[in-house]
Structure 1
């Protein structure tokens, strides 16, 4: 189950817990006898509408007398609302998670799904991000990675070859200097208002800094926060901003969607983006023209490093351990990861779905550049961290840019948090 499988091919407005449609006072999870309640942040998204309807139709074929109620929560409050619901015994039956720490930190409140999804193991990829101690707690809907996208039109305007992006950090800095001189664009578009930008930076550039052994140790949990190469990643975070590579006001720029809009408008030449359903190849292609969206490997920083595409399971649906209907809830998760539903999610949202049988050959040049990289891609570095450590890293990353904390002090705090997780 641990092997990495080859992949071939916000609703605005918070909902009060009392009125969100989750468990009643006499139930630890979900709705009544014939109702399942689902929390996510996708079902209110127009681009996901066909996907949700296909999943509901698949489930209704098996269970025509069961009502499924989707409650779309605002993403920026999602885990706070979910955490409160879990603590008060008001969990929904089924809930959406990002892969990694947010799920793993709540694994004790989730239903193990191994027995329910055994038939889907080969068809779907990305299981590792939704597992803890070799137990599966959610089924992957998408794969999420952090490619470095670049604007080929800006490269041409700057007199650079758009088909030959830099492969070393030194050459990349030279290209950034040229872009600054010849265009009005910044080198990077970066948003860190929520503290998320450091996660993209860490995973997007980390494979170009850490050696393969260091990378493997990091993902396995054997992280040395004092090593020179780990320190180098956080130095680069600080140095890039000090050197003016980023747009102005990184700490006051929201990653979603302000930094994405900067890249889409041609005001930045590069962005560490996503590969699935937002801030990705399809979104950027619609604004810049798909032929102007380039994908590059992280430029080599450290001799001996091996740059690769960082990716993991993106989002996945889990089942509350206390649900009154575990079999029904697990069947709904399987419908939410059915081939027909995921095919619609790819077609409408551009999601790089977990289903290895979905054909994405018509996705355009940027997706065509991403797909071969998935074969040799490595797990995303930030996904290996706990939610607590990620929250701390977000705050410290803002302080690093403002100059109110040193790299060494930040790393000491992160090491303490990581060891305590």
Structure 2
């Protein structure tokens, strides 16, 4: 019998830098003079469930604006923000564009029309707002909650002689488990794709609550960061150490995270992976391959005085770029959080949605476990960073993985990047 899990309302900060991929590129002139047309950019519908959700959003919008033509332009994700920036600079940008919350949206807040008052009536209905707020203004509504759960393969744990129902809870236990997996199986401990440099942000946000004290964690999110502090350098050191200790698949720096590294986990070539809670590489997709062998584990305790928390926050949302289309844009945003559309997508697409009134109907245990941890969750550490610092972190993460830079030098560069 299927069980119902009700998402809890939670306070969250900035958001993940990746939530979906796909879509074929088309072009648009962003005809802002045409009041009967709305040009919307996103990065495509990667599967049937995503396409059905987009159709439901379009239907909800058309109920209010039957005479408005909506042109949906799907750009490739790996070029999305570059193409969007070029179009805006050339004056040919869309009326609305899809954004990852946190760094990607906040770094472009001066280009997005604030809609604080216009979205006030749905404020209490959704969780994840801080990812779409900056300087006291609201720029979009969160559609989903996005985070970095650690998933593991119970069958591989059992093969290695580990207890599949009791995953590691401390760093020492995790290190011992990786040593055992290396000696007793032919798979890697963790699946990692770091071709794009994203691995270190998954690592930092995924394990951060077990490294930083709650006070340090909150200060980091609030912008009070010291990259040369003991625990910030410890993040970098542990990242380098895990590579040196052979935790990852060969060629991690030349393996794409989306979707090659996640395919390694799904295919049984790795015991664990830091995945996502929504969008892609999440509980529903992994369950399709692993079934009852799919497990979810919380971050592990690294230091005394820490409080473990699921790293999760608001995910993606549309921002209005055309001041002349604010009314239409706000109605599109509200259509993206239409309760019926989100409820259907939460099941078909495996999303942890932002609407806290929607019950997640699933018998997948990892989804139930994730939702149970929402009340004590924390925002993602890496999405509190500015765009330049995040780009630098990606490059240094690749270098640390193969020993091309020292931890002290990496910390110094990151500190300098934030002034």
**What band does the TM-score fall into relative to the shorter chain?**
over 0.9
Aligned residue in 1 for 2:183? 181
1:178, 1:243 → 2: CA distance?
12
The Cα RMSD (Å) is: 1.5
- Deviation readout 1:76-117 (Å, 9 max, x if unpaired): 000101111121222211111111111111101111111111
Match of 2:343 in 1: 343
Misfit runs of 4+, over 4 Å: none
Mapped to 1, the partners of 2:174 and 2:200 lie a distance apart of: 19
Structure 1: runs of 5+ lacking an equivalent: none
Q: Deviations over 1:380-409 (max 9, x none)?
A: 101111122111110111111122211111
Residue number among 258, 273, 282 corresponding to 2:275 in the alignment: 273
Deviation (angstroms), 1:418: 2.1
Match of 2:319 in 1: 318
Q: After superposition, where does 1:112-127 map in structure 2 within 5 Å?
A: 112-127=114-129
Q: Greater RCO between the two (CA within 8 Å, min separation 6)?
A: 2
1 CA distance for matches of 2:373 and 2:10?
A: 16
Partner residue, 1:304 = 305
Q: Give the secondary-structure state (helix, strand or coil) at the position aligned to 2:94.
A: coil
Q: Which ranges in structure 2 are unaligned for 5 or more consecutive residues? A: 1-8, 13-20
Q: CA deviation at 1:362?
A: 1.8
Confirm or deny: 8 A CA contact 2:44 2:76 kept in the other structure: no
* Cα distance in 2, alignment partners of residues 13 and 314 from structure 1: 22
Q: Within the alignment, does 1:11 sit opposite 2:22 as a pair?
A: yes
Which residue pairs with 1:334 in the alignment?
334
User: Does the CA contact (< 8 Å) of 1:100 and 1:386 recur in 2?
Assistant: no
TM superposition shift of 1:361 = 3.7
Native 8 Å contact 2:10 2:128 kept in 1: no
Give the 5 Å matches for 1:100-179.
Answer: 100-179=102-181
> What's the CA shift for 1:13?
4.5
Cα distance, 1:256–1:166 mapped onto 2, change above 3 Å: same
Q: Distance in 2 between matches of 1:414 and 1:87?
A: 29
Q: Distance in 2 between matches of 1:304 and 1:146?
A: 22
1:393 paired residue number = 393
Kept in 2: contact 1:43–1:70 (CA 8 A): no
Q: Secondary structure at the match of 1:122?
A: helix
Whether 1:375 and 2:382 are equivalent positions in the alignment is no
Mapping for residues 52-91 of structure 1, pairs under 5 Å: 52-91=54-93
Q: TM-score when scaled to structure 2?
A: 0.93
- CA displacement at 1:341 relative to structure 2: 1.4
Alignment check: 8 A CA contact 2:23 2:43 kept: no
Q: Distance in 1 between matches of 2:235 and 2:286?
A: 27
Equivalent-residue separation in structure 2 for 1:164 and 1:377 (angstroms): 21
- Cα deviations by residue, 1:337-382 (Å, 9 ceiling, x for unpaired): 1111111221221111111111104251000010011110001101
Cα distance 1:341–1:158, how it changes in 2: closer, same or farther (>3 A)? Answer: same
Which residue is 1:241 aligned to? 243
Against the structure 1 CA distance between its residues 95 and 12, is the aligned structure 2 distance closer, same or farther, given a 3 Å change threshold? Answer: closer
Q: Across the two proteins, how many residue pairs are aligned to each other?
A: 403
